[in-house]
Amino acid sequence: MNTIDWIVLAAGTAAIAWVNWYFFLAQRPAARAVASGGVQSIDVSVKGGYDPGVIRVKRGTPVRLVFDRQETSSCSEEVVIPAFSIRRFLPPYQKTAVELTPDRSGTFDISCGMSMLHAKLLVED
Amino acid sequence: MSKTITIPIRGMHCAACQSRVQSALAGTPGVSDASVNLMLNSATVTYDEPAVLPEKLLESIRATGYDAELPKAEATPFGDQASQDEAHAAELRELIAKTTVSLVVAAITVLLPMNATWRPWVLLVLTSVVVGWSGRHFYTRAWRAFRHHTAEMNTLIAVGTGAAYVYSVAATVAPGFFLAHGVQPELYYEAVAAIIGLILLGNTFEARAKKQTTAALRALAGLQPKTVRVLRDLRELEIPIEALEQGDIFVVRPGERIAADGEVVSGSSAVDESMLTGESMPVAKAKGDRVAGGTINRTGALKARATTLGADSALARIAKLMRDAQASRAPIQNLADRVSRVFVPVVISIAIAVFVGWFIVGGTPVHALVTAISVLIIACPCAMGLAVPTALMVATGKGARLGVLIKGGEALQRAHEIDVVVLDKTGTITAGKPTVVEVFLAPGPEGPAVDAGAVLSLAAAVESLSEHPLADAIVRAVEERGGPKGKERIQVRDFEARAGRGAVARMVAAGGADGKRVAIGNATLLRELDIDPGEMRARATELADRARTPVYVALDQRVVGVLGIADPVKDGATEAIASLERMGLEVVMLTGDSRATAHAIAREVGIDRVVAEVLPDQKVEEIRRLQAGGTRVVAMVGDGINDAPALAQADVGLAIGTGTDVAIEAADVALMRGDLRSAVDAIALARRTMRAMRQNLFWAFIYNVVGIPLAAAGMLSPVIASGAMAFSSVSVVGNSLRLKR
């Protein structure tokens, strides 16, 4: 192996490490749902992913997630929250409210219909 | 709880109207804010629930002289489907255009003369059109996903084609740089155009096929008539279906589709309910019967009073159930989900490793790049994502056509694991309606004194005055045989019901004189009247042995015949039970009836295991015992009302009913046809669906497991990889569509 080979090997290893860090480990911005009138409400923009990617809510209070789908890509046309048996079609360029009341604390997955796009619902005591 | 609602108001024309409504609303206790918009003809009200309910707000508005209506609380499943369809249609049109352009460009790039000096530049322009327009969404979507720290199918395509495109552009613009480093400036424009074209072609096929998976729901939506003819002020008036109100009388002519759920107030007809229940025989409807919207009135004209409308109608409830079921998840999907989640970053890592590997082992840098691109392109997470949901969608649609409504993926998956099927007797195996099944005539010196028709007519004459459930069986038996009805019946008087024994009456002879005494009842009644049943006693015992209730008919002191009344076995029940056993399932009958009756029926239909004399609350216990601590999967078939607790305890509860009245919400599976054979259909469908899901998952996984190493070994060109990738999704959807047959 010559010097260039070594450089390519090092660069490749670094690239693999970075890919895995970026997609699996990097922190995603979290946001807390705003409580008003007995409902914790938050807007989630849907555009190739969910923004914010981590949503913090309080246990026991109804939660309204307002999904604002800003694209036509069919990947994001459905939102699924398996722990709360929710699957909803999100019409493109419209806001769709999904309501649930978290009765237990923990981290729950929010994903698209094909489980490619993900966000987390963090229910805290 | 504070709520905000927007209420449309009709009839407001001026600012004065506006302020009147506004102050009326603001003055309603519990309302914190009210604003009325004259331009939009609506009021936006913030109020406190439950201190004030929306209906109260309507009253306040109506009190000012304007009419208002609450907005539709929930979109009907049909509306939701329609908007989804619209979005899909637009997507499909765009896909077709993009696919055509890319494939045409790909064809041109192959046809260009190889040695022309202008060739690289023409290729650059043409391919840029494909990358910049046809395939643009791959890059934008991949970028958006990237910003959210997610990677999806578009990421793979974008990175793969992007790398090939960027490399080719560099080789076109600065070939000297490559040559100086001993690398041939090869061009991959054709590959880029072909990859994008093939993937788009695959997406187009997939979109078309996916549309078919929801065809059943669309067919249901098509059943709802748009208008209805109502009777207002003695005139028939055609109005839009939305304007129909509860209690309206509507008219249905022969051959028309019934517009809404209702109760027949006059007329009689045969109604085809097959589209909702799967039952192919038309159902007779007369005054007092319920009809369902969407079914077809065949023979006579009907007038009906509208009962349930909109989202509460049978049609909408079925559609909603189906939509929910199609949107649900089957547990088998969990594995695919776990793989999908890590799939793309892992594939990108593999591609980088492949590049490094080929670079070091001595392939040219270009070869290393092309091989890595093949790996990115062939990997297809889409097929895994489609494997389970598409099969579930097609299966629920197929089920609905068979009159089998399945609650969702979980119910479907459990239904394929069933070991034991518990059948309730009354209403499930038997019709649940006592019927005269046998008539024996007493032999006289010159043959029977009367014929069977006469015995029944005599009995019906007396029993038409009785309210006993067995009496109804006798009256029906005469009517079904075309015997005398109503006033044509033999006239009797001095009717006397004798509880627990039977009834006695006297015939009216010509001229109104007293005729013979007619006695209908059991052995106790005969003893009371001092009548000797004679040879008929043996007949009665024989009937009782076969679980029939014997009913003597006596004229004066002489028994003329004995009727055997039983709850007859439903059509197809025996056949269904045999099929269940052939499918390797253990069949158990569970009933509150006496042992003798239960065993007699069990013998007739071929069930070996009978649990009789069980009180309703003990049925739950019995199911739990059969479940044997969760080691066996038990299904229970029963009516959704009396058996609801047992259905809930069972691993799979199948509610059996007749027509649209079945309690579809009470169970995991609703059998609309009321025919036990549909339970067989349900279980068979569950098995076929699970098989299709497994096949889909297997192919989706194996495709990647084989494809990625082949591509990594440099044995697949990127264009072939893109073709394989595009059609792996199409084949999965195609396999799911086979369930339709």
pLDDT in tens, B674-712: 889 999 999 999 999 999 999 999 988 888 899 999 999
CB B421 within 8 A of CB B577: no
- Residues of chain B contacting residue A52, judged by C-beta atoms under 8 Å apart: none
Beta pairing partners, B492: B507
Assess whether pLDDT exceeds 60 at residue B660: no
Indicate yes or no: CB of B140 within 8 angstroms of CB of A77.
no
Phi, psi for B66 (deg, rounded to 5): -110, 155
Give the residue-averaged pLDDT of B733-740: 90
Assess whether pLDDT exceeds 60 at residue B119: yes
**Which token pair is B374?**
């093949």
Q: DSSP code of B45?
A: E
Task: Give the per-residue pLDDT at B46.
Answer: 81
Closest listed residue to residue B599, CA positions, set B588, B610, B615, B614: B610
Give the residue-averaged pLDDT of B175-189: 84
Phi, psi for A109 (deg, rounded to 5): -85, 135
CA distance B498 to B468: 11
Interface residue B135 vs chain A (CB under 8 A): no
Catalytic residue among B248, B261, B272, B424: B424
**Which token pair is A68?**
């604002």
Interface residue A10 vs chain B (CB under 8 A): no
Q: Is B258 exposed, middle or buried (0-12, 13-18, 19+ CB in 10 A)?
A: buried
Task: Give the per-residue pLDDT at B147.
Answer: 81
The model's pLDDT over A15-24, given as tens digits with 9 standing for 90+, comes to 999 999 998 8
- Residues of chain B contacting residue A5, judged by C-beta atoms under 8 Å apart: 359-360
Q: Which residues contact A36 (CB under 8 A, 6 or more apart)?
A: none
Q: Which residues contact B294 (CB under 8 A, 6 or more apart)?
A: B220, B223, B224, B225, B257, B258, B275, B276, B314, B315
CA distance B152 to A74: 12
Assess whether pLDDT exceeds 70 at residue B658: no
Which of B86, B144, B348, B388 is the mutation pick for testing A, counting most A CBs within 10 A? B144
CB B594 within 8 A of CB B602: no
Gyration radius of chain B over CA positions: 36
The model's pLDDT over B477-493, given as tens digits with 9 standing for 90+, comes to 887 777 776 667 777 87
Mean pLDDT of chain B: 84
CA distance B313 to B225: 13
Mean pLDDT of chain A: 86
Amino acid found at B27? G
Q: What residues of chain A, 15 to 74, have a C-beta less than 8 Å from chain B?
A: 15-16, 19-20, 22-24, 26, 28, 37-39, 47-51, 53, 71-74
**Which token pair is A42?**
């938050």
- pLDDT band per the 50, 70, 90 thresholds, residue B553: confident
Strand B2-10 relative to strand B42-48, pairing: antiparallel
**Number of Cα atoms under 13 Å in the Cβ half of residue B237:** 13
Task: Give the per-residue pLDDT at A47.
Answer: 85
Q: Residue B450: count other Cβ atoms within 10 Å of its Cβ.
A: 17
Interface residue B49 vs chain A (CB under 8 A): no
Q: Is B409 exposed, middle or buried (0-12, 13-18, 19+ CB in 10 A)?
A: buried
- pLDDT band per the 50, 70, 90 thresholds, residue B547: confident
Strand B669-671 relative to strand B262-267, pairing: unpaired
The model's pLDDT over B264-320, given as tens digits with 9 standing for 90+, comes to 999 888 888 888 877 777 888 888 888 988 888 888 889 999 988 887 888 888 887
- pLDDT band per the 50, 70, 90 thresholds, residue B581: very high
CA distance B389 to B396: 11
Q: Which residues contact B609 (CB under 8 A, 6 or more apart)?
A: B586, B587, B588, B589
Task: Give the per-residue pLDDT at B73.
Answer: 45
Q: Which residues contact B18 (CB under 8 A, 6 or more apart)?
A: B12, B36, B37, B38
Task: Give the per-residue pLDDT at B566.
Answer: 84
Assess whether pLDDT exceeds 50 at residue B444: yes
Which of A94, A101, A116 is the mutation pick for testing B, counting most B CBs within 10 A? A116
B424: annotated active-site residue? yes
Task: Give the per-residue pLDDT at B39.
Answer: 59
ipTM above 0.85, yes or no: no
CA distances from A16 to A9, B125, B142, B348 (A): 11, 33, 18, 8
**Which token pair is B39?**
């331009």
**Which token pair is A84?**
């709360």
Task: Give the per-residue pLDDT at B659.
Answer: 55
Ranking A7-16, B519-528, B573-582, B658-667 by mean pLDDT, the lowest is B658-667
- In this structure, chain A runs to a length of 125
- Residues of chain B contacting residue A117, judged by C-beta atoms under 8 Å apart: 145, 148, 150, 152
Give the residue-averaged pLDDT of B586-598: 86
**Number of Cα atoms under 13 Å in the Cβ half of residue B705:** 8
Indicate yes or no: CB of B149 within 8 angstroms of CB of A5.
no
- Residues of chain B contacting residue A16, judged by C-beta atoms under 8 Å apart: 349, 352-353
Task: Give the per-residue pLDDT at B38.
Answer: 62
The model's pLDDT over B627-640, given as tens digits with 9 standing for 90+, comes to 987 789 999 998 76
Assess whether pLDDT exceeds 70 at residue B653: yes
Indicate yes or no: CB of A8 within 8 angstroms of CB of B360.
yes
Task: Give the per-residue pLDDT at B741.
Answer: 82
Beta-strand ranges (E) seen in B647-693 are 652-656, 669-671
Interface residue B77 vs chain A (CB under 8 A): no
CA distance B143 to A124: 32
Task: Give the per-residue pLDDT at A111.
Answer: 87
- In this structure, chain B runs to a length of 741
CA distance B384 to B394: 17
Classify B185 as helix, strand or coil: coil
Task: Give the per-residue pLDDT at A73.
Answer: 76
Which of A5, A13, A23 is the mutation pick for testing B, counting most B CBs within 10 A? A23
CB B392 within 8 A of CB B412: yes
CB B568 within 8 A of CB B431: yes
DSSP per position, B302-346: EEEEE-S-GGGSHHHHHHHHHHHHHHS--TTHHHHHHHHHHHHHH
Task: Give the per-residue pLDDT at B74.
Answer: 45
The model's pLDDT over B304-338, given as tens digits with 9 standing for 90+, comes to 999 888 878 888 888 877 777 776 777 887 778 78
Indicate yes or no: CB of B144 within 8 angstroms of CB of A71.
yes
The percentage of residues in chain B with a pLDDT greater than 90, rounded to a whole number, is 23
CA distance B654 to B647: 7
- pLDDT band per the 50, 70, 90 thresholds, residue B447: low
CB B471 within 8 A of CB B477: no
The minimum CA-CA distance between B684 and chain A, rounded to whole Å, is 26
CB B93 within 8 A of CB B39: no
**Which token pair is B683?**
């279980």
Ranking B160-164, B217-221, B406-410 by mean pLDDT, the lowest is B217-221
Q: Which residue is it, tokens 């990617």?
A: A53
Own/partner pairs, B203-208, CB within 8 angstroms, 24+ separation = B203/B95, B203/B99, B203/B726, B203/B729, B204/B92, B204/B95, B204/B96, B204/B99, B205/B726, B205/B727, B205/B730, B205/B733, B206/B382, B206/B386, B206/B729, B206/B730, B206/B733, B207/A74, B207/B88, B207/B91, B207/B92, B207/B95, B208/B92
- Residues of chain A contacting residue B328, judged by C-beta atoms under 8 Å apart: 85, 87
Q: Which residues contact B555 (CB under 8 A, 6 or more apart)?
A: B449, B450, B458, B516, B517, B518
CA distances from A58 to A65, A74, A80, B2 (A): 13, 31, 20, 19
- pLDDT band per the 50, 70, 90 thresholds, residue A95: confident
**Which token pair is B232?**
């207002």
Helix (H) or strand (E) holding B554: strand B549-555
The minimum CA-CA distance between B360 and chain A, rounded to whole Å, is 6
Q: Looking at per-residue confidence, does B604 or B450 come out higher? A: B604
Strand A118-124 relative to strand A54-58, pairing: parallel
Q: Would you state the torsion angle of the CA atoms of residues B260, B263, B266, B269, taken in this order, to the nearest 10 degrees?
A: 70
CA A94-A95-A100 angle, 5° bins:
145
Q: Which residues contact B322 (CB under 8 A, 6 or more apart)?
A: B77, B216, B217, B220, B396, B397, B400, B405
CA B173-B175-B178 angle, 5° bins:
130
Q: Looking at per-residue confidence, does A2 or B363 come out higher? A: A2
Interface residue B85 vs chain A (CB under 8 A): no
CB B667 within 8 A of CB B653: yes
Q: Which residues contact B375 (CB under 8 A, 6 or more apart)?
A: B347, B350, B351, B354, B708, B711, B712
Q: Residue B308: count other Cβ atoms within 10 Å of its Cβ.
A: 18
CB A59 within 8 A of CB A104: yes
Among chain A residues, the shortest Cα distance to B148 is held by A49
Q: Looking at per-residue confidence, does A12 or B554 come out higher? A: A12
The minimum CA-CA distance between A124 and chain B, rounded to whole Å, is 22
Task: Give the per-residue pLDDT at B139.
Answer: 92
